[in-house]
Structure 1
Amino acid sequence: MSETKACDVGPAGIEVTYERIGDPAGPPVLLIMGGGGQLIHWPDGFCRSLVAQGLHVIRFDNRDAGLSTHFHDAPVPDLPAVLAGDLSSVSYTLVDMAADTVGLLDALGLESAHLVGASMGGMIAQTVAVGHPGRVRSLTSMMSTTGDPEVGQPSPEALNEIAGPPAVTREEVVERAVKASRVLGSPGYPADEEAVRERAGRAYDRDHDELGFLRQAVAVVASGDRTPWLRSLDLPTLVIHGAADRMCDVSGGRATAVAVPGAELVVFDGMGHDLPRALWPEFTDAIARLVRRAEDAI
């Protein structure tokens, strides 16, 4: 596995760092990570499990994350103001991030792909499916929501538990990741904290941009409710969510499955807002079944 950089991607002409895993002749599966996440937050073992299903996996850094373009000259994002309706500090929306995703498909020479998105990545995948339906063969939305403020909200108690002073140093960022894992992770499948530390350290070494994460966060808020457009989708869709998700309540997954005609909903007891190793076989089996069904229908 080796990282590659695509230049002049999408209407914004950004750089996108990506990685291709598996046989390029297999059905392409594009993994879209959530807010503040990098391509390495799709665990290697999870990706290898998909490859073992005969799939060609592509994972990448969204704008303002990892080694892709960061919008350092953009206004400083003001999340409380955006939540109150003042969008003046919003630099872009999920529509722009969806255009980046389609631009990456163009750069890779792919007319279409199977999209798998986690958290904010699920929102981006939904937005691609709505705005560029011909580019999406199937949609898997994991621990995500529709944008309807009545569903999929974080637990205020959980947010209070992870609140604290800004993490600046590598050590502080790593320990914050461990704390977040304890609060937001899967109570039924506790994470290996050494693995959390290792991945958080790798992510810090690749890139650390607190404002980049906030720019993504305000983009999510400013993008509004996708429910009316999700109802128009006509493609194989899988919704995966954890019953114990404290960052994106399971009501968000249920609402997504209700909105997309014919969507399959799989809810895992004991799963929080992460990708527990013990569930990788079930995740990848379900995604592979969806991909095969979609490929058979082409």
Structure 2
Amino acid sequence: MQTNLINIDGVELWTEEFGHPSHPPVLLVMGSMSQGILWPDEFVGQLVAGGRRVIRYDHRDTGKSGTIDFDADPYTWHDIKDDVLRVMDAYGLESVHLVGHSAGGLISQLIAVERPERVRTLTVIGSSPLGGHEGEVIMRSLMGQPQPEGSLPPPLPEFVAYFTNAITSPPPAGRCEQIDELIAQARVLNGTALPFDEDAERQLAERVYERARDLSALVNHRRAAAADPGFEPEGVLHQVKAPTLVVEGTHEPAKPGHSAIIAERIPGAELLMIQDMGHMIAPQVCEPLAAAVLAHTEI
């Protein structure tokens, strides 16, 4: 394992590399406002044991990556998407097996459309279809507004209840409250089928808190999304050429049923439902998820 702090175009990104440099490269792209270490060590280790070179990284404004004065130097989700290419360039990789979770899956879909030569295979986990404007669906749910006909399926009631309360409550102040908030959020994203290990999640939340340069900076991802309404082009998923695996848990609370839509719109895509999995990559699903990614990236 080797960590690197890369700086391209003035963007400082913390990265971590595992496995032999000669092995097929797998680049892991985590979701919005999330650090790269939320790709579980167990999952990464199983990919490496299967003969893959694995790279994970912190998005800008998360973890050990650089923080940005958004008022002075605003950015958009297109910039966050281009950070994926910056990581690839820093490692001298012309193409990778691209694996994205949640909003990272959305980013990965767009890269597969725009830069097909850089994507060997595409794996999308717990995400929404590009052009589906999932953020608008969630906001209407939180505001108690009806969904227009043809919208994506809304999040489950427990997700809506938690985040409705979160956006109407004062932000957590201080270390203890912020860590408790991270744990509470993880409990919801875990879903209702798998046991939730609060002690393990507390250790992870403490790690997330301690390694962040500025935990409050992650809200800039929401500002970037608001500044970039054109991020999601519609009707383009048929252009994806990379062999695609789409993964969803049977107890997905945030984007239930979205993966089937992605798989339907990408030619030849395979849909995998993982029993009892929620939105987060819990320890219990690392083995089947890693096995699926290893099989998919043998192509």
Q: TM-score, normalised by structure 2?
A: 0.85
Report the aligned-residue RMSD: 2.0
What secondary structure, in the 3-state scheme, does the structure 2 residue paired with 1:50 have?
Answer: helix
- The corresponding residue for 2:266 is 260
What secondary structure, in the 3-state scheme, does the structure 1 residue paired with 2:257 have?
Answer: helix
- The corresponding residue for 1:160 is 164
- Which amino acid letter does the alignment assign opposite residue 235 of structure 1? A
What secondary structure, in the 3-state scheme, does the structure 2 residue paired with 1:97 have?
Answer: helix
Are 1:145 and 1:152, in contact at CA under 8 Å, matched by a contact in 2? Answer: no
Are 1:178 and 1:196, in contact at CA under 8 Å, matched by a contact in 2? Answer: yes
What secondary structure, in the 3-state scheme, does the structure 2 residue paired with 1:111 have?
Answer: coil
Equivalent of residue 201 in structure 1, options 201, 206, 214: 206
Gaps of 5+ in 2: 134-150
What secondary structure, in the 3-state scheme, does the structure 1 residue paired with 2:217 have?
Answer: helix
Give matches, 1:1-298, under 5 Å: 1-8=1-8, 12-74=9-71, 91-146=74-129, 147-149=131-133, 150-151=151-152, 153-155=154-156, 156-160=160-164, 162-163=166-167, 164-207=169-212, 209=214, 211-220=216-225, 222-247=229-254, 249-293=255-299
Q: Distance in 2 between matches of 1:194 and 1:208?
A: 24
Per-residue deviation, 1:39: 1.5
Per-residue deviation, 1:153: 4.3
Are 2:244 and 2:269, in contact at CA under 8 Å, matched by a contact in 1? Answer: yes
Q: Distance in 1 between matches of 2:14 and 2:106?
A: 20
Q: TM-score, normalised by structure 1?
A: 0.85
Are residues 73 and 162 of structure 1, via their aligned partners in 2, closer, same or farther at CA, if it must alter by over 3 Å?
A: closer
Are residues 223 and 59 of structure 1, via their aligned partners in 2, closer, same or farther at CA, if it must alter by over 3 Å?
A: farther
Q: Distance in 1 between matches of 2:95 and 2:173?
A: 40
Per-residue deviation, 1:218: 4.1
Are 1:94 and 1:127, in contact at CA under 8 Å, matched by a contact in 2? Answer: no
Farther-moved stretch of structure 1 (214-223 vs 284-293): 214-223
Per-residue deviation, 1:23: 1.1
Identity of aligned residues (%): 35
Q: Distance in 1 between matches of 2:122 and 2:263?
A: 11
Q: Distance in 1 between matches of 2:114 and 2:10?
A: 19
Q: Distance in 2 between matches of 1:120 and 1:2?
A: 26
Q: Distance in 2 between matches of 1:128 and 1:212?
A: 25
Per-residue deviation, 1:225: 3.6
Gaps of 5+ in 1: 76-89, 294-298
Q: Deviations over 1:2-44 (max 9, x none)?
A: 4210112xxx431111000111111000001111211111111
What secondary structure, in the 3-state scheme, does the structure 2 residue paired with 1:17 have?
Answer: strand
What secondary structure, in the 3-state scheme, does the structure 2 residue paired with 1:245 have?
Answer: coil
Q: Distance in 2 between matches of 1:269 and 1:162?
A: 28
- The corresponding residue for 2:148 is none
Per-residue deviation, 1:211: 4.8
